[in-house]
Amino acid sequence: MDIRIRLGLLVLLGVAVPGVSAHAQGKLPDGVTQEMVDKGKAIFAGAGNCYACHGQNAQGMLGPTTNLTDAQWVHSDGSYPKIAEYIKVGVTKEQSKSGIPMPARGGSKISDEEVNLVAAYVYSLSHK
């Protein structure tokens, strides 16, 4: 059997293949690349202010509801579009199920494109 067919079958079955990206294995949503995830991580840890509440490792600094590394979502279904939407609009203290508000864009002035990059990073954290 041709090596390309073998690799294709392994990727299709979700088997980890050295040298084949996570996106090729179907772990990132359509339109999201590893480059977006990497850029989003830098924004998360810098200009986006996300680290202030979620911590540098995204495991939360204000309690379990600020942990972004697990599969539990308090205000979103965890899909890439909903994560991006949530970052863009934030949540008021009154809307918050945990009582912890999140300002739109984390209180930063990041652009819609930067929000999408952060959303790609956040998605990657909880969809392993």
- The angle formed by the CA atoms of residues 92, 81 and 85, to the nearest 5 degrees, is 25
Between the alpha carbon of residue 93 and those of residues 28, 42, 97, the distances in Å are: 31, 27, 8
Six-digit token string for 61: 């600094």
Is the predicted pLDDT of residue 128 greater than 50, yes or no?
Answer: yes
Six-digit token string for 99: 């009582």
Amino acid 8: pLDDT? 40
Type of residue at 17: V
For the chain, the domains span 1-26, 31-126
- The 10s digit of each residue's pLDDT in 55-87 is 999 999 888 888 999 988 888 899 999 999 999
Is it true that domain 31-126 has CATH number 3.40.50.1970?
no
